[in-house]
Amino acid sequence: MSAENAPWLIAGLGNPGPGYAGNRHNVGFMVADLLASRMGGGFKSHKAGRAMVLEGRLGTPGVSSRRVILAKPLSYMNLSGGPVKALLDFYDIPLDRLIAVHDELDIDYGALRLKLGGGDNGHNGLKSITKTLGPDYHRVRFGVGRPPGRMPVADFVLKDFSTTERKELDYFVDRATDATEALIADGLERAQSAYNS
């Protein structure tokens, strides 16, 4: 398959199971769920990787719609690389058509940063993907802010969003979903100028 005809793989990062559903660490799953509803489909388990997958199209029907494989790895965050690699291999997708959507501690709550490549910044999901595939994939970084006081990072990201944060969470997830669509439709630079904050 030629690179320009290859689908995009959007991997929303998180931990499986209802106990993690509202955690800050699961914002990638939240964005993936909203993308799935926009695509008008539901996730199904995939034989190639430990992931829930939805195949479909994003964007305006016709010329500007893009083929997309939407995935929620089920391996737990720190082992995300295995399922993501299995899906890239199965669908023959080049690495620069991978978008990882994830929580980011070093950005204020709700702010977004889109980028290609770079380090993992201590994020275990990115660490696993980069170790497995290298760093040259797109990221949609969703700011969750820093833990208060001396709270350990692991405790902070595995807690649900606060009551105050939840008041704006739907709006921020919607915006991150728009940014992910824009990255595919318009390219990185235009999406960055529209959404990076």
Q: Which residues of 179-196 are buried (b: 16+ CB within 10 A; e: fewer)?
A: bbbbbbeeeeeebbeebe
Least Cα distance to 58 among 192, 173, 184 occurs for: 184
The confidence score (pLDDT) of residue 104 equals 96
Mind listing the pLDDT tens digit for each residue in 7-66? 999 999 999 999 999 999 999 999 999 999 999 999 999 987 789 999 999 876 666 678
CA-to-CA distance for 59 and 66, rounded, in angstroms? Answer: 6
Mind listing the pLDDT tens digit for each residue in 108-140? 999 999 999 999 999 999 999 999 999 999 999
The verdict on whether 25 is a catalytic residue reads yes
The confidence score (pLDDT) of residue 6 equals 87
Cβ-in-10-Å burial (0-12, 13-18, 19+) of 8 comes to: buried
Percentage of the chain lying above the pLDDT 70 cut: 96
Q: Which of 25, 46, 102, 138 is catalytic?
A: 25
Residues constituting the chain:
197
3-class DSSP assignment, residue 22: coil
